[in-house]
Structure 1
């Protein structure tokens, strides 16, 4: 029975991987008109209020510092200097990531749709939405975390009850 479960898990992982590749590939493979890509990039620029690139760089630097210092606490200053130097190499590369984000939107929306999206995000309401999205997303993540924690406990309890009804005790 264990072999069957292992094969089933492996097949599920292959299916998930294939599905993820199929989902991701249109943005990579499809050509996009320059004006469409420019509008998509404009949208990305208008909505990048949480500075995702900068936050990712800082978090990566912190993670590297923790990993190195945990094993080599005597080289804190040298590690800090090295991380600062490497961060400088990445500071001017934000556009590369945002261009990739723009390509994803450009593949999924027409030029006309992108123009409507940009027009909205240039409006006062669109600007307010872009400014509050980061905070709202944090609140949404907290709500989802509470929901997930409760769901996991309730779900497990209900599965146990169903198994108990079948005479199986965990």
Structure 2
């Protein structure tokens, strides 16, 4: 028979409680297939994971360069083997798509995801995806110019108003040290 000391009991209870919380958490993460499908469609219409397409090729290029630097006489073999291994790993890209679908499924309802997909699949939505970053950049430039003008005008007008009010008064003497 196993006897538990005080510390062992606490550890056992903590382990059991942690296991139960993990099980509840895992169930909470289960997302219905329809919800995941709607999330994948929204992700596809938004193109949000397209920027990740170059991750594996970039890693591969860095590794090839690193290995060739260490073993310059094996350049062809290194390129060939790294490419072979990268092709074996490439299917793992689907894992990232699945994670993205889970993220979107947790953030949006099925109806919201369908609305997102409908909008961003439309000509207007595609135009927003294409031209939105340009419009945002131009808007930020305009905001910078506006901010500079407002700051300039506020400083000038405040100084003018202050001079009118205190113009007749002599300036205060500097404190003596």
Shift of 1:46: 2.0
Match of 2:79 in 1: 80
- Provide the TM-score with structure 2 as the length reference: 0.54
CA contact (8 A) 2:60 2:82 kept: yes
Shift of 1:113: 1.1
CA contact (8 A) 1:61 1:83 kept: yes
Matched, 1:127 2:126: yes
- Provide the TM-score with structure 1 as the length reference: 0.56
Whole-Å Cα distance in 2 between the matches of residues 119 and 44 of structure 1? 12
Match runs of 1:19-168 below 5 Å? 30-48=29-47, 51-131=50-130, 136=133
Shift of 1:29: 5.2
Shift of 1:112: 1.4
Q: After superposition, what is the alpha-carbon deviation per residue over 1:107-161, rounded to whole angstroms, capped at 9, x for unaligned?
A: 111111111111111111212333457xx49x97xx9xxxxxxxxxxxxxxxxxx
CA contact (8 A) 1:65 1:79 kept: yes
For 2:54, what is the secondary structure of its paired residue? helix
In structure 2, the gaps of 5 or more residues are: 1-24, 141-177
CA contact (8 A) 1:46 1:130 kept: no
For 1:42, what is the secondary structure of its paired residue? helix
Q: How many residues align?
A: 113
Whole-Å Cα distance in 1 between the matches of residues 117 and 43 of structure 2? 9
CA contact (8 A) 2:42 2:117 kept: yes
CA RMSD of aligned residues (A): 3.0
In structure 1, the gaps of 5 or more residues are: 1-25, 144-170
- If each structure's helix is expressed as a fraction of its own residues, which one has the higher value? 1
Structure 1 residues 31 and 115: CA distance shift in structure 2, 3 A = same
Q: After superposition, what is the alpha-carbon deviation per residue over 1:75-100, rounded to whole angstroms, capped at 9, x for unaligned?
A: 11111101221222233443222111
Whole-Å Cα distance in 2 between the matches of residues 116 and 27 of structure 1? 28
CA contact (8 A) 1:49 1:131 kept: no
